[in-house]
Structure 1
Amino acid sequence: MNNNPFAKLPEVEAFRLTSNDIAEGLPLPPQQYASGVEGGKDLSPHLKWSGAPEGTKSYAVTAYDPDAPTGSGFWHWAVINIPANVTELPTGAGDEHGSGLPQGALQLPNDARLERFIGAAPPAGHGPHRYYFVVHALDVEDIGVDRSATPAVLGFTMLGHTLGRAVLVATGENK
Structure 2
Amino acid sequence: MAEDPYERFGAVPQFTVTSEDVADGHPMGERFRAAGGNLSPQLSWSGFPPETKSFAVTIHDPDAPTGSGFWHWAVYDIPASVTALERGAGSGQASLPAGAKQLKHELRDVGYTGAEPPEGTGMHHYNVVVHAVDVDHLELDPESTPAVLGFNLHFHTLARAVIVPTAAFDDDL
Q: TM-score range by the shorter chain?
A: over 0.9
Look up the match of 1:27.
27
Letter in 2 for 1:26: H
Deviations 1:44-102 (A, max 9, x none): 0000000011210000000000000000000000001000000000000000x233210
Q: Does 1:161 find its partner at 2:159?
A: no
Letter in 1 for 2:25: G
Note if contact 1:5-1:66 (Cα within 8 Å) is conserved in structure 2.
Answer: no
Q: Does 1:69 find its partner at 2:65?
A: yes
**Secondary structure at the residue paired with 2:126?**
strand
**Secondary structure at the residue paired with 1:13?**
coil
**Secondary structure at the residue paired with 1:157?**
helix
Structure 2 distance, partners of 1:127, 1:158, is 30
Q: Does 1:6 find its partner at 2:2?
A: no
How many residues were matched structurally?
167
Look up the match of 1:59.
55
Unaligned runs of 5+ in 1: none
Q: Does 1:119 find its partner at 2:114?
A: yes
Structure 2 distance, partners of 1:8, 1:144, is 25
**Secondary structure at the residue paired with 1:99?**
helix
**Secondary structure at the residue paired with 1:11?**
coil
Q: TM-score, normalising length from structure 1?
A: 0.93
Note if contact 1:77-1:116 (Cα within 8 Å) is conserved in structure 2.
Answer: yes
Look up the match of 2:43.
47
Q: TM-score, normalising length from structure 2?
A: 0.94
Letter in 2 for 1:107: Q
Give the counterpart of 2:133 among 129, 138, 144.
138
Q: Percent identity?
A: 51
Structure 2 distance, partners of 1:99, 1:43, is 15
Structure 2 distance, partners of 1:28, 1:64, is 14
Unaligned runs of 5+ in 2: none
Letter in 1 for 2:112: F
Where do 1:92-103 residues align within 5 Å?
92-95=88-91, 97-103=92-98
Structure 2 distance, partners of 1:66, 1:134, is 13
Q: Does 1:104 find its partner at 2:105?
A: no
RMSD: 1.0
Structure 1 distance, partners of 2:117, 2:94, is 27
| Runs of 4+ residues over 4 Å off in structure 1 | none
**Secondary structure at the residue paired with 1:166?**
strand
Give the CA deviation at 1:160.
1.2
